[in-house]
Amino acid sequence: MNKTEYLKKLTDELGHMPYGDVKDIIQSIEEHFEEGISEGRSEEEIAESLGDPKELAMEFKDGAKFKQIIKKRKMSDNFKGPDGRGRIFVIVFNAFVGIEMWLLFLAAIIAAFMFLAGDCAIIGLIVAGLVAGTLMEYIIPFIFLVLTLICVAVFLIVLLILGIKYYAKGLKSYIRWNKNVWNYGLGED
């Protein structure tokens, strides 16, 4: 299929995307065709290297950028299959480093929650003792203790929120990295 046919099919597939996005995508593809033609490739070869317009449109709808798609296509053209070293590396790395790292982080989260629960229990006991009147002579130190425990609890809550947020981001990147090494190996020698 030539450039005109390819761009027509791609435009039809991108139909529900905003006009500005479709215009930018089509402009990028036209520039890609121009670069390919200047390198001596035919329009058909360029269209074939881009793949099916429907699949390309799906990648754009998923939020991929043109440069990412082209890089991925070039990588897949040179891809000869996963090497055993990459898969062995992923297994060994996860067995000796990855799993323990995430378990340690989860243990820290559980310990923080337990500390928060202990803080709540201590504050409850102090308030109950003050209400009952048995701890009145120690009111000032208990107030400071309660305020300190509340500050520590608030600090831990903020730390947990940030920790869980970055844990999720890190886990997503870590899984993507594992998948990439598993599928494509460690790279060239």
pTM of the model: 0.40
34-86, pLDDT tens digit by residue?
Answer: 888 888 888 888 888 888 888 878 777 766 666 666 665 555 555 455 566 77
Residue 189 pLDDT greater than 50, yes or no:
no
130: CB partners within 8 A, 6+ apart: 136, 139, 142
Domain-by-domain residue ranges, the chain? 3-78, 84-184
Per-residue pLDDT reduced to its tens digit, 129-181: 777 777 677 777 777 877 888 888 788 888 888 888 887 788 788 888 888 77
Q: For the range 168-175, what are the long-range contacts, defined as Cβ-Cβ under 8 Å and sequence gap of 24 or more?
A: 171/102, 174/98
Contacts of 75 (CB under 8 A, 6+ apart): 184
Quote the pLDDT of residue 83: 61
Across 20-28, average pLDDT: 83
